[in-house]
Chain A
Amino acid sequence: MSVTSRRRFAAIALASVAVLATGTACGNDSESGDGPITLVVDVFGDQGFGYEELYKQYESEHPNIKIQERGKGLGLGDYNTRLTQQITAGAGAGDVVALEEGTIVQFYAQADKFVNLADHGANDLKGNFLSWKWEQGVTPDGKVLGLGTDIGSMAICYRSDLFKAAKLPFDREQVGALWPTWDEFIATGQKFAAADKKNKFVDSATNFYNVVLMQTAGSGSGYTYFDKSNQLVVGSNPDVRSAFDLTTKMISAGLSNNLKSFSNEWNTGFKNGTFAAIGCPAWMTGVIKGQAGDAFAGKWDVAKAPGTGGNWGGAFLGVPKSSKHPKEAAELAKFLTSAKSQAEAFKKVGNLPSSPQALSDPAVAEATNDYFSNAPVGKIFAAGASDLKPVYLGPKNQAVRDAVENALRSVEQGKAADAAWQDAVKNGEAAGK
């Protein structure tokens, strides 16, 4: 190799270094001018949010906008981890992002990284949302962080064929009448267990626990692991303890199928049909249909839940400041959370609207679900929605909840309930530190 060619190589080496250096420095090129704008919508969950038709409608009404959705099939935990990093880094998040009920509080602290939707006329829409839902989307100092999509009022989804085989009532009215309280729910489960040795009564301790907790806390303290000033109260909140105790009672009655919620085994449990009932916030109907599949169409039904009220889950749509098109993104978020859009999403994936107008829309209120034996899901879920009492969830809610759920799973695996409660408090306090 001659000196010249060596020098040329040196130049190439230098150039490649320069390219690398600049390559890492710049991110996405911003689109400018009047060309079409692409808005990215980030959602989570196996079923997504059911917005496909709405995107098409919006694109046809706004020819300069293209919509791209990410995240369908992504679990909430992974989704939230990624979103937290993107928001903190100030890059990479979508133009419109879904914020789940349990995690939106975490983003109150980073409200300056989100567009205040009040600047885009969101305050005029206040009447389009249930008041408690609206308030959850607003930070303590009054910034509108997110607009509500759906809520999760409770019912029990059950397998009418298994109930029938176990000589239990299987008509949804009669089934609902079986369990005015959770204790009677467990008693029904014991009857089922006596008649059916093959299948279990409920899917898991964790699902049962969360349904009971959100209901107990809704009618009780109004919060779970953190009180409204974000003090950790996992060991002292009587609502947590009573939900925990009720769950361990259910486990010791042998009613749990021991399938960890949202795990592969849980999904398989739906497909194999190995349990007869599951605590059923409105969005769960979409999960069941997606996981159990056509083989179980018409075998599932929906009945009233024990107790009263209670909300579990639901989400909001927000616009991160990193969006290149905050105005257009805010408009899209407003469109997707409008009463009409919420009714459409309800039809697609069963997410119960958070808008009173949508809830009273006949398309929702009189809706039946053919997968669930034509159950009047609109009536069952929407009935209690307007007088639901919301539950406050602290910023580290998910971490503490994982610790308590782990303790309950250790009971399923044979640990004594008292020792598990000690674990739940100890690990919950470590997780919430």
Chain B
Amino acid sequence: MSSLETTAPPSVDPSRSRRAARRTPSGFPWLTRLDLRVTPYLFVLPFFVLFAIFGVYPIIYTVWIALTDRSPLNATISFVGLDNFVELLTNDPQFWNAVWNTFGMFVMSTVPQLLIALMLANALNRRIRGQMFFRLAIAMPIITSTAVVALIFSMLYAREFGLANWLLDLVGIDPIDWRANRYASWFAISTMVDWRWVGYNALIYLAAMQSISRDMYEAAALDGASRHRQFWSITIPQLRPTIIFTLIISTIGGLQLFTEPLMFTSGSGALSGGSEGQFQTITMYLLDVMNARFRWGYAGAVALVLFLLIASVSFVNYLLARRISSDK
């Protein structure tokens, strides 16, 4: 380590350490101390400068704009206090429709997503033929662009000439207009999300599973625990921090769901998420308010309420996930 070099332990040879001090080009020990104190901050500074520009400033600006009626259509900006929030929470059925859709799709996509990921990881954790191939294969969807995924799935779920309706037809089910029916659209969008994210979560679970000591499984096996029992009593409790992590990441992603439902329809008005807002999510509503209705102040209020929703749902998830293991 470099820091050990300059402050070498004096016990070995006091004269060497004095020489070392003299070797510093400045010859001023206070400069060295200043250097040691300040330099670490300089190293992390680039991140914080970027964070201030792209993170802190937009947040502060959002708070400010949410308290105004800012719009490109208004020549002047006037302060309206909490009016935007009051309207949003008490008199905006479209917002609550978007909240309902977002949570519906969040549950519909995240629950199977994490369960399937867990099962996949468990299967891949065993010795199977072509282990490497399967481990790589499940990770493949992550490298595809969300827009491409959404585009392809939109074709699969097309009303006419769509693969999904063709398959339904084979088993004698009438074609479904995937964009007209609320739950059909949720299902279609959930499959897009899951196709893309199951592999990612499986990979994280797999990594965590491999760090679980084999001794525990051996001991359990000696005690006569079945594979099933081992999974629930060793694997799951040991994965607890990982499950909390994936839950929080999925919550943030799920509540910000945007590209998939947006690309599910095309043409003008795609932000309205279906003819009756069947699959309009909160982020889509936010952009609808901002770009189509030009109510920038109101959009700021929507963004802040979305932030609070994500924070509180993440916290609830954390509390729930903490209870996974009974021994802690």
Q: Which of B35, B74, B160, B272 is within 8 Å of A3, CB to CB?
A: B35
The answer, yes or no, to whether B177 is at the interface (CB within 8 Å) is yes
The answer, yes or no, to whether A62 is at the interface (CB within 8 Å) is no
A237-266, CB < 8 A from B: 258, 260-266
Q: Contacts A106-B73, A106-B294, A109-B73; is A13 near B43 (CB within 8 Å)?
A: yes
**B94 x A430 contact (CB < 8 A):** yes
The answer, yes or no, to whether A409 is at the interface (CB within 8 Å) is yes
The answer, yes or no, to whether B53 is at the interface (CB within 8 Å) is yes
The answer, yes or no, to whether B112 is at the interface (CB within 8 Å) is no
Q: Which of A6, A398, A410 is within 8 Å of B35, CB to CB?
A: A6
- Listed stretches B99-107, B130-138, B263-271; interface member: B263-271
Closest Cβ–Cβ distance, residue A213 to chain B (whole Å): 15
Instruction: A266 to B158: give the CA distance in the assembly, Å.
Output: 12
User: Contacts of A430 on B, CB cut-off 8 Å?
Assistant: 92, 94
User: Contacts of B325 on A, CB cut-off 8 Å?
Assistant: none
The answer, yes or no, to whether B292 is at the interface (CB within 8 Å) is yes
Instruction: A13 to B40: give the CA distance in the assembly, Å.
Output: 10
The answer, yes or no, to whether A168 is at the interface (CB within 8 Å) is no
From B24, B25, B53, B73, residue with most partner A Cβ within 10 Å? B73
Q: Which residue of chain A has the shortest Cβ distance to B45 in the bound complex?
A: A17
Instruction: A24 to B52: give the CA distance in the assembly, Å.
Output: 13
Q: Which residue of chain B has the shortest Cβ distance to A111 in the bound complex?
A: B75
Instruction: A330 to B266: give the CA distance in the assembly, Å.
Output: 35
- Listed stretches A34-42, A74-82, A143-151, A364-372; interface member: A74-82
**A9 x B293 contact (CB < 8 A):** no
Q: Which of B35, B45, B177 is within 8 Å of A413, CB to CB?
A: B177
Mark interface residues in A79-123 (1 if CB within 8 Å of B CB, else 0): 001001001100000000000000000100110000000000000
Q: Contacts A9-B43, A402-B269; is A433 near B293 (CB within 8 Å)?
A: yes
Mark interface residues in A256-296 (1 if CB within 8 Å of B CB, else 0): 00101111111010000000000000000000000000000
User: Contacts of A14 on B, CB cut-off 8 Å?
Assistant: 42, 45
Q: Contacts A75-B268, A265-B158; is A398 near B292 (CB within 8 Å)?
A: yes
The answer, yes or no, to whether B143 is at the interface (CB within 8 Å) is no
Mark interface residues in A125-156 (1 if CB within 8 Å of B CB, else 0): 00000000000000000000000000000000
Mark interface residues in A1-35 (1 if CB within 8 Å of B CB, else 0): 11110110110011011001100100000000000
The answer, yes or no, to whether A362 is at the interface (CB within 8 Å) is no
The answer, yes or no, to whether A406 is at the interface (CB within 8 Å) is yes
Mark interface residues in A53-83 (1 if CB within 8 Å of B CB, else 0): 0000000000000000000000111000100
Closest Cβ–Cβ distance, residue A301 to chain B (whole Å): 26
Instruction: A258 to B275: give the CA distance in the assembly, Å.
Output: 12
**A413 x B275 contact (CB < 8 A):** yes
User: Contacts of B269 on A, CB cut-off 8 Å?
Assistant: 77, 402, 405-406
**A10 x B266 contact (CB < 8 A):** no
Q: Which of B92, B266, B292 is within 8 Å of A263, CB to CB?
A: B266
The answer, yes or no, to whether A407 is at the interface (CB within 8 Å) is yes
Instruction: A163 to B42: give the CA distance in the assembly, Å.
Output: 76
Interface residues on B, range: 35 or more
**A109 x B43 contact (CB < 8 A):** no
The answer, yes or no, to whether A390 is at the interface (CB within 8 Å) is no
User: Contacts of A403 on B, CB cut-off 8 Å?
Assistant: 272
**B24 x A395 contact (CB < 8 A):** no
B17-52, CB < 8 A from A: 24-25, 32, 35, 38-39, 42-43, 45-46, 49-50
**A263 x B272 contact (CB < 8 A):** no
Closest Cβ–Cβ distance, residue A415 to chain B (whole Å): 8
User: Contacts of A75 on B, CB cut-off 8 Å?
Assistant: 267-268
Instruction: A33 to B274: give the CA distance in the assembly, Å.
Output: 53
**A431 x B292 contact (CB < 8 A):** yes
User: Contacts of B53 on A, CB cut-off 8 Å?
Assistant: 24
The answer, yes or no, to whether A399 is at the interface (CB within 8 Å) is yes
Question: Which B residues contact A (CB, under 8 angstroms)?
Answer: 2, 5-6, 24-25, 32, 35, 38-39, 42-43, 45-46, 49-50, 53, 72-75, 92, 94, 154, 158-161, 177, 180, 265-270, 272, 274-277, 288, 291-295
A selection of 17 A-B contacts at a CB cut-off of 8 Å is A1-B2, A3-B6, A3-B32, A4-B25, A6-B35, A10-B38, A13-B45, A20-B49, A87-B72, A260-B266, A262-B268, A265-B159, A265-B266, A399-B294, A402-B269, A415-B275, A432-B293
Question: Which A residues contact B (CB, under 8 angstroms)?
Answer: 1-4, 6-7, 9-10, 13-14, 16-17, 20-21, 24, 75-77, 81, 84, 87-88, 106, 109-110, 258, 260-266, 268, 395-396, 398-399, 402-403, 405-407, 409-410, 412-415, 423, 427, 430-433
